[in-house]
Homo-oligomer: A and B are copies of this chain.
């Protein structure tokens, strides 16, 4: 599946640090010409290793300053794709995972404030397969960063 060498990893690392860096700058950093970098980036996009480029926005500044993690416990056995389908319409859900342990899923939610979070969680609890939720409100964000380019 992967012909991913050290050069690709260094290119990815540079793009994670700055997605708007020019191919020429990246090339200078990794020792390649700009077209060579572009060919590798295009290949990585095609393979799905790179999924795209995005802006990092301060949620506070956009009015999404309150977040919470919610354990979702379902009625009986609900397949993952059905959980996904139930959560996808809720705009406050920024991430969701099926998990091992007592809970069936962990849902990461963002809202404007506590009141908005409350109404969003009411909508979450109203989803048909949801039985019980256990929510944990975030007080402060300590860290938020991409994983290292090369594994330890």
Contacts and interface: CB of A to CB of B under 8 A. Distances in A.
Interface in A39-98: 47-59, 61-64, 67, 69, 80, 83-84, 87-88, 91-98
A20 B53 contact: yes
Given A17-B54, A64-B147, A91-B147, A100 B139 contact: yes
Contacts of A103: 136
A114 B47 CA distance: 25
Contact of A151 (B20, B63, B96, B148): B63
Interface of A: 1-2, 4, 9, 12, 15-20, 47-59, 61-64, 67, 69, 80, 83-84, 87-88, 91-101, 103, 105-106, 110, 112, 116, 136-149, 151-152
